[in-house]
Amino acid sequence: MVTNEFWLERWQMGRIGFHRDEVNPWLIQYWPQIGRGAKVLVPLCGKSADLLWLANQGYDVTGVELSPMAVVEFFGDNDLTYQTEQVGSLKIHTAHGLALRIVEGDYFDFHETGFDACYDRAALVAIPEDKREQYVLHTKQRLTPEATLLLITLSYDGDQAGPPFSVLDFEVNELWGDWIRKLASEDLLQLDERYQGHDRTFYEESVWRITA
């Protein structure tokens, strides 16, 4: 069962195969043209280098992450100093000299609104099926009516054990409705040996742009 304790234990044990040290190429290629200073939300951000890339483009970036270890490692890995403020059940870590902060705590306890854009590389695929609708609704409530979302998903057959979970195209359409548009996809079975040997015929990563 995927619980908060599950994720905290994964970080403590170093079982973070979902983490990538480099900036995601889909982000660089498909991030929408929005004005500098726009507020960008990154749910379940981990210690992703994508946060720093977005901040360096001139955006006001807010990541939300459950694991305190991930937060500390992000600031340490990037030689960033920061200050911390407790707000209810959440800890807000704000970088010095950069429009970037990470909110430490349960994403469903985060209720700030007014975000102009959202970047989801590893959040939806980390959410069990029975909570995905709740996750999408909660995310929509954080965004402005004109906001844009860049979403990256995985879909695969064979062993369905996750996370990351398989989220098929029809599910993405059902969750996000008429705003959805698939931009690109590639079969990772042909590109990365880590995804081979699981009795699968496809393991596809897709990138979507959604205007809420």
pTM above 0.85, yes or no: yes
Rounded mean pLDDT, 94-116 = 97
Using pLDDT thresholds of 50, 70 and 90, give the confidence band for residue 19: very low
Residue 22: C-alpha distances to residues 26, 149, 150 (Å): 12, 21, 18
Residue 127: C-alpha distances to residues 36, 38, 114, 132, 167 (Å): 30, 26, 23, 6, 10
Rounded mean pLDDT, 13-17 = 56
187 vs 110, residue with greater confidence: 110
Give me the residues paired with residue 204 across strands: 155, 187
**CA-closest candidate to residue 189, choices 211, 207, 204, 171:** 204
